[in-house]
Amino acid sequence: MCPHHDQARTELLLPDHHARLDRLLTEVISAVATDDRPALHDAWGAFEDAVLAHLAAEETYLLPGYAEDHPAEAAAIQGEHGEIRALLADLGVSVDLKRFNRGTAGELAARLRAHGAREDADLYPWAAQHHEPRWRRFLDAHLRRASFASHSGGPEKNADVKPGRPGAA
């Protein structure tokens, strides 16, 4: 695979995963709208697993190198990831307690879309320019496992891949 094609795949892969997360959130919102609690529980589980795997992939494969070039922006993204994890934990409880509603879902959607837009504008273009093919393949595999795991019980861990700057094997 040529480097240009590989870069183009990364440019598409990351925002495509944001779009997939948005589709999963739409399933959550649909379950809320129809007051289908079993569907909400299932949709929430798939959504939460996929978001957590997505955050972990970014933190493992992208943020360490990005922090070397853009420390303030990387720290801000990392901080948002912490906020998103806390929000997911709180909202997971509200799903379990049957308090999750359209307003809550709308706030979550707005927060995640704003975060995704920030990454699409800054982090992902950087990643497309700086990631070597080997790291793109690991990121691709991680996100694909996250997509699969959101429908099969939870994300797998990749113990063979260590965080760090792309190409620093």
Strand runs labelled E in the chain = none
Q: What is the pLDDT of residue 145?
A: 67
Domains in the chain, CATH or no CATH each: 3-149 (1.20.120.520)
Ramachandran assignment for 19, one of left (phi > 0), alpha (psi -120 to 50 degrees), beta (any other): alpha
Q: Decide: helix, strand or coil at residue 44.
A: helix
Show the tokens assigned to 103.
Answer: 């307003």
Mean pLDDT by 10-residue block, N- to C-terminus, for the chain (169 residues)?
43 68 93 93 94 90 91 97 94 90 88 92 86 64 62 43 43
- Quick check: pTM over 0.95? no
* Cα–Cα distance measured from residue 163 to residue 169, given in angstroms and rounded to the nearest whole number: 10
Instruction: Output the six-digit token pair for 70.
Output: 């853009």
Report in angstroms the alpha-carbon separations of 109 from 24, 58, 105, 157, 164: 11, 19, 6, 27, 30
Q: Which pLDDT value is given to residue 104?
A: 87
